[in-house]
Amino acid sequence: MATKETFAPGWQQRHVKRYLDSNGEDGHIWEGVPTLLVTTTGSRSGKQRTTPLIYGRDGDRYIIVASYGGAPNHPAWYVNMQANPNIEAQVGADRFNARVRTASGEEKTRLWKLMTAIWPAYDKYQLKTTREIPVVIVERA
C-alpha cells in the first residue's frame, strides 16, 4: 500500500494541511485564486504525494499548469502524472478520482489564456524557461 505524503516546500505543506484539516474551507482560495489538491503516485517511489495547485474551469473539467515557477524541469507532480494519469483530486470538500492529460495545439492555446487570466505570472514563468510549460486537463474518472 502506498503511503500518502505531501511533497512540497514548507508553505505548500502548510497549505495542504489547512486544506485537508478544514475539508477545503481553509485553503481552497489562496492569494485570491482557487486551488485544488492533486494526489499523484510517485513514478519511482510508488508513494502518494499531494500538491496544491491553482486551477481554472473549462466546463466540467479542471485546468492546471505545470509551471514550476519557470524552472528548467517539469515539476515532480507532472512527471508522476505522465507515468500514471490516474490521480485523486480535491476541490473544496469534493474529493474524487480523476484522469489527466496534457493539452496541445489550439486547445492548449485557449486554456493557456484561461489560466493566465487567473494567474498572469504564468506568462512570466514561460519567458524564464526554454521548456514548453504544460497545461493539464483534469477530468473525473
* Amino acid 10: pLDDT: 77
- C-alpha distance from residue 116 to each of 33, 49, 108 (Å): 12, 26, 12
Tell me how many degrees the CA angle 121-127-128 measures, rounded to the nearest 5.
90
Question: What interhelical angle do 121-128 and 105-118 show, nearest 10?
Answer: 120
> What pTM was computed for the model?
0.91
* Amino acid 5: pLDDT: 46
* Amino acid 11: pLDDT: 79
Q: Domain 4-140 carries which CATH code?
A: 2.30.110.10
Grid coordinates given for 46: 510508488
* Amino acid 13: pLDDT: 87
* Amino acid 9: pLDDT: 59
The mean pLDDT values, 10 residues at a time, for the chain of 141 residues are: 49 90 95 97 92 97 97 96 97 98 98 98 98 98 95
* Amino acid 6: pLDDT: 44
Grid coordinates given for 24: 477545503
Query: Rounded to the nearest 5°, which phi and psi values hold at 43?
Result: -65, -25
Burial degree of 128 (CB within 10 A; 0-12, 13-18, 19+): middle
